[in-house]
Amino acid sequence: MPLADHSQQLNVGVDFYLNSFISFSEVDETISIMGCVLLNWTDPALQWDFLSFDNLYVIVIDPSDIWTPQMFLANVVDDMEPIGHGVTFYSTLVYTGEVYYSPGGIMKAKCPTNVAKFPFDTQECNLFFFNWGIVKSKLTLSALSNQAKLDWYTPNSDWTLLEYSTFVEPYNDYSRFNVNIKIKRQPLYYAVMMILPTLLFALLNPLVFVIPVESGERVSLAMTILLSYAIFLTLVSAAIPTSSNPMCVLLAVMITIISLSGLIVASVIVISKYHFAETTVEFNSPLKRLAKWRLKKKRNVVLPMDGHKKQIDGIDVKITGSNTGAIHRAGIAYHSRAPV
């Protein structure tokens, strides 16, 4: 280590340059960025008198000729190698002994995700850098600024960069440099291609009951909506994050809508069957009891007339599938005239 007194600590200044945001995977919980780490320290052995060398203040040399700190990404997804491994990043030396070294490359790190509010979600990722093998009693890191540098940054079309703070903290006897990145998804594409069709299907489902039963189109329309939404879910399933903890709210809404669509198809089939029934013999007991209870409890009005009660009790004999709607409308008209 470049120290005149090895009983002291070596202080290395660290800064981060964020060049571009490559990708973010919700399934793998990874983030890929292009960036570089600027390292700055003082080596007493590399000082010189610039007057003795024709006013030579700065020189650029190969980093293999001097000591350089090996920075590692702690939460890396791929092989754990020093930043800039396999590529030569030249070092800049100042006559005072200051050394500037900027290794970089594509960095793929682990990033826990939360897609509950997809596609209006915001993700926060952390990159942890440290010098492996040298504890903080020998080498300490210090942040040169509290934010990453965006001098070479290229914006991403799918994500908006909200925060890019940097700081240093001690961690497990090491000095760790943290880069906090917060990004927000651009929701326009998902809103047009997924949310609007889902709302349209949700509005079409109850309109099935507006069509008269006599037309015979209720079942066909309900089946068409159900099959159309099933095909739509097949097409958009690849764009929805497949995460269970937490589950996407939009996906839960889609599952609810297709479940309701299936129940509507079943109910339309049952209604059509009993509408065209000739006698009440074909009605099962639960449906009869439901019809009686609905007529008695409509609008929470208790029927005061015994004669009307007898008419309701005799519904088993008088009601048929074809005149169910007429009896129901007559009951509603009666309640509207009954005194409160």
pLDDT band at 334 (very low <50, low <70, confident <90, very high): very low
The whole-angstrom separation of Cα 200 and Cα 9 is 66
pLDDT at 317 over 70: no
Closest CA to 156 of 319, 299, 317, 18: 18
The whole-angstrom separation of Cα 78 and Cα 110 is 10
Q: Looking at per-residue confidence, does 252 or 1 come out higher?
A: 252
Task: Work out the average pLDDT over 200-213.
Answer: 89
Burial 35-51 (b: 16+ CB within 10 A, else e): bbbbbbbbbeebeeeee
Query: Of 140-154, 180-194, 207-221, which gets the smallest average pLDDT?
Result: 207-221
Summarize pLDDT for 89-110 with one digit per residue, the tens.
Answer: 999 999 999 999 999 999 999 9
| pTM for the whole structure | 0.75
Considering the chain, what percentage of its residues have pLDDT values greater than 70? 81
Predicted local distance difference test score (pLDDT) of residue 6: 75
Q: What residues contact 234, with CB distance under 8 A and at least 6 apart?
A: none
Ordered alpha helix ranges (H), 209-323 = 218-236, 249-275, 285-297, 306-313, 315-318
pLDDT at 216 over 90: no
Task: Work out the average pLDDT over 198-218.
Answer: 88
Identify which of 161-170, 229-238, 246-255 has the greatest average pLDDT. 161-170
- The amino acid sitting at 47 is Q
How many CB atoms are located within 10 Å of the residue 254 CB? 23
